[in-house]
Amino acid sequence: MAATIPKAPYAEDPAKSRGRKVAEAESETRTPFARDRDRIIHATAFRRLKEKTQVFVAHEGDHFRTRLTHSLEVAQIARSLATALGLDADLAETIALAHDLGHPPFGHAGEDELQVQMQGFGGFDHNVQTFRVLTKLERRYPRFEGLNLTWETLEGVIKHNGPVTDKLDRPSWSAIGEFDAEYDLRLGTWASAEAQVAALADDIAYNNHDVDDGVQAGLFNLDELRGIPLIGPHVASAAADYPDCDAGILRLEAVRRMIGAMVADVLAETRRRAQADKVGSPEEVRVLDHALVAFSRDMVEDLSALRAFLMERMYRHWRVNRTRSQARRILAEMFLLFLAEPDVLPSEWYARAQARDEAGRARLVCDYIAGMTDRFAIEEHRKLFNLDSLN
Write down the pLDDT at residue 55.
59
Give SS3 for 150: strand
The residues, ordered by sequence, that sit 6+ positions from 360 with a Cβ below 8 Å of its Cβ are 353
Give the Cα separation of 147 and 262 in Å (integer). Answer: 33
Write down the pLDDT at residue 63.
44
Write down the pLDDT at residue 142.
95
Could you tell me if 307 and 207 are in contact, meaning their C-beta atoms sit under 8 angstroms apart? yes
CA nearest to 107, candidates 343, 389, 331, 362 = 331
What sign results for the dihedral spanned by CA atoms 124, 127, 133, 134? Answer: negative
CA count, 13 A, side-chain hemisphere, 128: 23
Write down the pLDDT at residue 148.
98
Write down the pLDDT at residue 61.
43
How many other CB atoms are there within 10 angstroms of residue 329's CB atom? 13
Give the Cα separation of 13 and 283 in Å (integer). Answer: 12
Give SS3 for 170: coil
Give the Cα separation of 373 and 244 in Å (integer). Answer: 41
The residues, ordered by sequence, that sit 6+ positions from 156 with a Cβ below 8 Å of its Cβ are 91, 94, 95, 191, 192, 194, 195, 198
Write down the pLDDT at residue 64.
64
Give the Cα separation of 247 and 321 in Å (integer). Answer: 27
Give the Cα separation of 332 and 244 in Å (integer). Answer: 49
Strand-pairing partners, residue 146, are 139
Task: List phi, psi (to 5°) of 20.
Answer: -120, 155
Q: How many residues in total does the chain contain?
A: 391
CA nearest to 74, candidates 206, 269, 194 = 206
pTM of the model: 0.94
For residue 301, CA distances in Å to 23, 117, 307 come to: 45, 35, 10
Residue type, 47: R
Burial 86-99 (b: 16+ CB within 10 A, else e): bbbbbbbbbbbbbb
- For the chain of 391 residues, list the mean pLDDT of each consecutive stretch of 10: 83 98 96 98 96 62 72 97 98 97 93 97 97 97 97 98 96 97 97 98 94 89 94 96 93 96 98 98 98 98 95 89 93 98 96 95 98 95 81 50
Could you tell me if 157 and 193 are in contact, meaning their C-beta atoms sit under 8 angstroms apart? no
Q: What does the angle CA 280 – CA 283 – CA 284 come to, to the nearest 5 degrees?
A: 50
